[in-house]
Amino acid sequence: MAFLAALAGPGVAAQAAPPEAAEQGTYLRAADYRVHEVAYRLAASGRQHCPALLPLTGMFLHYLPEYEGLNRAEAVRLYGVDRGPGILSVVSGSPAARSGLLAGDVLLSINGIALPTGESLARAGAKWRTAAAGVETLVEDQLRVGPARLKVLREGRELVLELQRELGCPVRARLARSNQANAFADGRTVIMTTRLLNFVRSDDELAVVLGHEAAHNILGHPARLEEEKVPKGFLANFGKNAARVRATEEEADGLGLKLAWSSGYDLNAAIPFWRRLYRTYDPIPTPKLFNRHPSLAARERAVAETVAELRRSAVQPPR
């Protein structure tokens, strides 16, 4: 991996990556890259488990409205994200890496279609995330019909690069700065907090978390619970609502472990992770009637059963 610049440090400008960085991973923030790399591996290697596939790029974007106050001016100065979506990470071995894209590049257009500037996204106000999702959907749609020509801005120069497509699971992920230990699926993207990232002890544990949340999106759980009129928040903890949510959690555990296994992660990390998580954040077991998450014992059984099933099957993780 090639580190290009750290956003946290004022006055630190992105450096030109060495030529070999085209096949390596490049990033602006190491913590984000860690999440992006695991998410990409789950998407690329777990496709046999996904009913619908989408074009993967291995590039993860950041946008001007993510930054507030003085940070916004600094993001413009360092990364030029006022001109368009910026590349935050390029995962090693991905189509984006093979195309020569680098973290720090700014996307200007795809197949001649201009992408929104950072200023236009900022003017969208609270709806800017929806507009940003539209950028990513446009890239995916263009790749569905074949390779795409990307015009990018790099250190003041415009370049045109060809991006190939690779099909995989719809695993999109981003890291949110937060003191809450949480990860959740919004129907499209997995959002993981820095507090929870600091809690996991290995990429194997990280794959368990991201695989579980990605499985919610892949299986359409947010939409299903909305159709079943399951409320969000406190009322989801009771009666049939809790049972419906718990069923989706159990399904996500199963598929998430399969994604992690297919991507070469060690599932032996799953049970110690769940034990530590429950001990830290849920030390007093909740009666099943009022608990929308499986108990620790139920999760331990599910992991053991899923691992045994995978080992019996012909599906072996890559080495």
**Single residue among 144, 168, 192 that ends a domain in this structure:** 168
User: Residue 106's domain is classified under what CATH number?
Assistant: 2.30.42.10
**Chain segment 216-238, per-residue pLDDT in tens:** 999 999 999 988 888 776 555 55
What pTM was estimated for this model as a whole? 0.88
At 293 the pLDDT is 79
Q: Is residue 78 part of a domain?
A: yes
At 204 the pLDDT is 98
Q: Is residue 242 part of a domain?
A: yes
Q: Are 213 and 76 in contact (CB under 8 A)?
A: no
**Chain segment 251-307, per-residue pLDDT in tens:** 999 999 999 999 999 999 999 999 999 999 876 555 443 366 788 999 999 999 998
**Chain segment 98-132, per-residue pLDDT in tens:** 999 999 999 999 999 999 999 999 999 999 999 99
**Chain segment 11-39, per-residue pLDDT in tens:** 233 344 455 555 679 999 999 999 999 99
Closest CA to 212 of 170, 237, 174, 183: 183
Q: Is residue 317 part of a domain?
A: no
**Chain segment 277-293, per-residue pLDDT in tens:** 999 987 655 544 336 67
Q: Is residue 318 part of a domain?
A: no
Largest CA distance in the chain: 61
Q: Is residue 124 part of a domain?
A: yes
**Single residue among 107, 139, 168 that ends a domain in this structure:** 168
Contacts (Cβ under 8 Å, ≥6 apart) of 297: none
What domain range includes position 88?
2-168
Measured distance between the N- and C-terminal CA atoms of the chain, rounded to whole angstroms? 20
What distances in angstroms separate CA 49 from CA 32, 255, 258, 304, 314, one per listed residue? 25, 8, 7, 19, 13
**Single residue among 168, 191, 217 that ends a domain in this structure:** 168
Looking at the chain, the whole-number percentage of residues with pLDDT higher than 70 is 86
**pLDDT over 70 at 5, yes or no:** no
Question: Number of structural domains, the chain?
Answer: 2
Q: Is residue 255 part of a domain?
A: yes
Mean pLDDT, residues 27-53: 97
Amino acid identity of 104? G
